[in-house]
Structure 1
């Protein structure tokens, strides 16, 4: 298949950077999927988010770090698959915390800070593959990418 309407990666990177809601899919120990919305920031080619280690997703990610993330909507589809890991680097945590505060407000209008959820820990999704397509033109727009090192992926052949 020859794609004639492929969307370049920078379009999807901007969508990841600007998104307010991300849907994370993890796997329970018995193999059942678990999908939840979450807040996060896309920085340096990774998705950062926080969760309580004792939550379902926290326990799932600790046992099985492979996960997938997709954005809201089904017209301009983007799915990013990768491996998650806890982040304990103070410099990364500070940068992500500032980005979260700039991006999200709590219901009372306060800038969201990671410290507002004391049990939560910072996680990152290290992308390995991505799939994208425009639903109305699935065939000619379907594109796959792979990360081979660095923050930007490389397109995979059809």
Structure 2
């Protein structure tokens, strides 16, 4: 790949990241168990402007890892347009999930886990750090959020 564009400024990167959160519907969710065994799966998500909501069963490794570990890394894009989100996780049963979050998830994905016969849980991911880059020339300045605060 030949780099022909200058690196994006922080404002443009943040705008591009937020547009991606609104546009896309799938995200790679990385977790690990207590022994450090990694797990990586794609899940549907909804972004509400402050946090992500994902949903999966508590009986699978991702659900257990999200609940027990309380942290995750979300990955968007390919190697030439990367967004990584490190976040803190809170777990909600179907009965506990805020109705606005569950309704938004159902509207966005076309699937309402509250009506499924399997036991699903919802997970709220609050971003603590966000990195964004399009090529090696954008590695400097890739941190668009640190400690839960946007750089711009």
Q: Deviations over 1:75-119 (max 9, x none)?
A: 221000011011369796322233233322xxxxxx311224330
Aligned to 2:145: 145
Q: Distance in 2 between matches of 1:74 and 1:93?
A: 35
If the length of structure 2 is used for normalisation, what is the TM-score?
A: 0.80
1:45 counterpart SS class: coil
What TM-score do the two structures reach when normalised by structure 1? 0.77
Summarize the Cα distance change of 1:154–1:141 in structure 2 as closer, same or farther, 3 Å threshold.
closer
Q: Give 1:62 deviation, angstroms.
A: 2.2
Q: CA RMSD in A?
A: 2.6
* 1:68-79 matched pairs, under 5 angstroms: 68-79=73-84
- Flag the 1:62–1:101 CA change in 2: closer, same or farther, 3 A: closer
> What SS class does the counterpart of residue 132 from structure 2 fall into?
strand
Aligned partner of residue 98 in structure 2, secondary structure: helix
Unaligned runs of 5+ in 1: 105-110
Looking at structure 1, the residues matched to 48 and 38 of structure 2 have their Cα atoms a distance apart, in angstroms, of 26
Structure 1 residue 22: deviation in Å? Answer: 0.5
2:8 corresponds in structure 1 to 5
